[in-house]
Amino acid sequence: MVCTLLLSIGSTANATRTWVSGNNGNWSTAANWSGGSLPSSTETAQISNGTVALDASQTIGQLLMVNVSTDVGVLNITSGQNLTVSKSSAELFCLVKAGTSAGASTTVNQSAGTVRVGVNTGNTNGGTGETRLVTASTTTGTAIYNLSGTGVLDTEVLSKGNKTNTAAQFNATGGTLVLRTMMYRFGLISEGAGFNQGTCKLELGAIGTVAAIGFGNSTNSMDYTVGTGGTMVFDIASASSFDSILQYGNYANTAGATLQVNLLGGYTPTVGSFFDVWTFNTKSSTYNNGSGAFGVLPPNWSAAWVDTGTDGFKDTLRLTYTPEPATMALFGLGLLAMRRNKK
């Protein structure tokens, strides 16, 4: 009896709730799911065919949008509700599985609310919270994630699954992408293949913290271009603790983007302090090069791609604290006032 009970518990914990094929309606309508019950915090929600509206905040174990034949699955997150995906798994949020037939498609439209994938969910099992558009290069179906408006996608890893798969697209025309660890397998961003940032704000690590982020990794390189009107956010906590990007790729371009710098914990840099926030993994290669001036800079800061490898190629994005004379004068007056008050 005990063994039967344990097996039953394990089966429930790993259960899959499937959206009833062809239904169009609200996530919170139990009848739209197999078994007449909503996916729980330990279960997998699988959407293959039909249009789903996230009408109430939900916590699930895993999300799979798995299409076969000519199925069309759509998830709309547009009403400000939140979706938390918390199960310990390498693929917490997957839009298309391997082997999908040509003609099948799956789309997530997020213009509001927050999707948290494997982060801040009490996950202690060491699982990687990965948002993966496809799971293998053999996938032929179309997978699209559209991030816009006030939507926030908060994920450890954002992966295309295979950087040569042109059917997988991440289109960020607004909203905020909170990237905790890595983005990779997106191919040549300059060619518009896979990742299109647009006016999206890219936050490195949890908001209000510093983080080291990888664009690509040792086996999967990628290039990166911030879309015109896009925003790059760098948090700085001290002279030695600040957001940083290590890029495995050929080039990066920040032309036309907005730079945002947040000083944490009351830290104020000394005049002329600089922070190398973005660098290539190889600083002596003709294939590693950054370019483009930011379109908008915050007060008291300058930004430039510099050559630290002494090979004529700009391999590092350097932020320099350069307060204007008026700012320094006000700072000096403040110190003088403090001294007088002490007297």
pLDDT tens string 201-244: 999 998 899 999 999 888 788 888 887 789 999 999 999 999 99
Give me the amino acid identity at 98. A
- In Å, how far from its chain's centre is CA 203? 8
The answer to whether residues 32 and 175 belong to one domain is yes
* Contact criterion met (CB below 8 Å) for 265 and 237: yes
**106 beta partners:** 73, 143
The answer to whether residues 212 and 176 belong to one domain is no
Q: What does the pLDDT average to over 107-125?
A: 76
The answer to whether residues 185 and 212 belong to one domain is no
Enclosing H/E stretch for 279: strand 274-280
The answer to whether residues 142 and 240 belong to one domain is no
Determine the Cα–Cα distance for residues 259 and 293; give it in Å rounded to an integer. 10
Say whether pLDDT at 12 is over 50. Answer: no
The answer to whether residues 212 and 172 belong to one domain is no
Determine the Cα–Cα distance for residues 220 and 250; give it in Å rounded to an integer. 12
Say whether pLDDT at 115 is over 50. Answer: yes
Q: What does the pLDDT average to over 77-99?
A: 74
Burial class (CB in 10 A: 0-12, 13-18, 19+), 159: buried
Evaluate whether residue 156 is within a structural domain: yes
Instruction: Report pTM.
Output: 0.85
Say whether pLDDT at 124 is over 70. Answer: no
Determine the Cα–Cα distance for residues 200 and 196; give it in Å rounded to an integer. 9
Number of domains making up the chain: 2
The answer to whether residues 173 and 264 belong to one domain is no
pLDDT at 213: 94
Q: What does the angle CA 150 – CA 155 – CA 160 come to, to the nearest 5 degrees?
A: 100
pLDDT at 82: 96
The answer to whether residues 41 and 84 belong to one domain is yes
Evaluate whether residue 255 is within a structural domain: no
pLDDT at 143: 83
The answer to whether residues 268 and 162 belong to one domain is no
Enclosing H/E stretch for 326: helix 325-342
pLDDT tens string 47-67: 989 999 999 999 998 888 877
Evaluate whether residue 128 is within a structural domain: yes
The string of DSSP codes covering 34-81 is: GGG----TTSEEE--SEEEE--S-EEESEEE----TT-EEEEEE-SS-
Evaluate whether residue 118 is within a structural domain: yes
Q: Which domain holds residue 294?
A: 208-216+234-245+260-343
